[in-house]
Amino acid sequence: MDKDILPLEERVKKLEQEVEQLRGLLESHIRKHGFPPPIHPDPTKPSKKPFEPGHPDVGPPKEY
């Protein structure tokens, strides 16, 4: 049973080292370039752009 556990512990150590390496790369990139813009804008903040309507063929709903 110890033979099965040891490779798992080694894998965990390797993954933890990889996580630390990637964390360091990410932190240095953020320090150098700043945070990237969010993929989805924050809905609580007002839009900086004027309202852009959707597709030109799509209008507001018609009242019947």
pLDDT at 24: 93
Q: Give me the pLDDT at residue 47, please.
A: 65
Q: What is the pLDDT of residues 26-36, one digit of tens each?
A: 999 888 888 77
Q: Are 41 and 47 in contact (CB under 8 A)?
A: yes
Residue 2's pLDDT is 61
Q: What is the pLDDT of residues 9-61, one digit of tens each?
A: 899 999 999 999 999 999 998 888 887 776 676 777 766 666 565 666 666 66
d(CA 4, CA 10): 11
* Token pair 């804008």 in the structure block, residue: 41
Determine which helix (DSSP H) or strand (DSSP E) holds 16, and give its type and residue range: helix 2-33
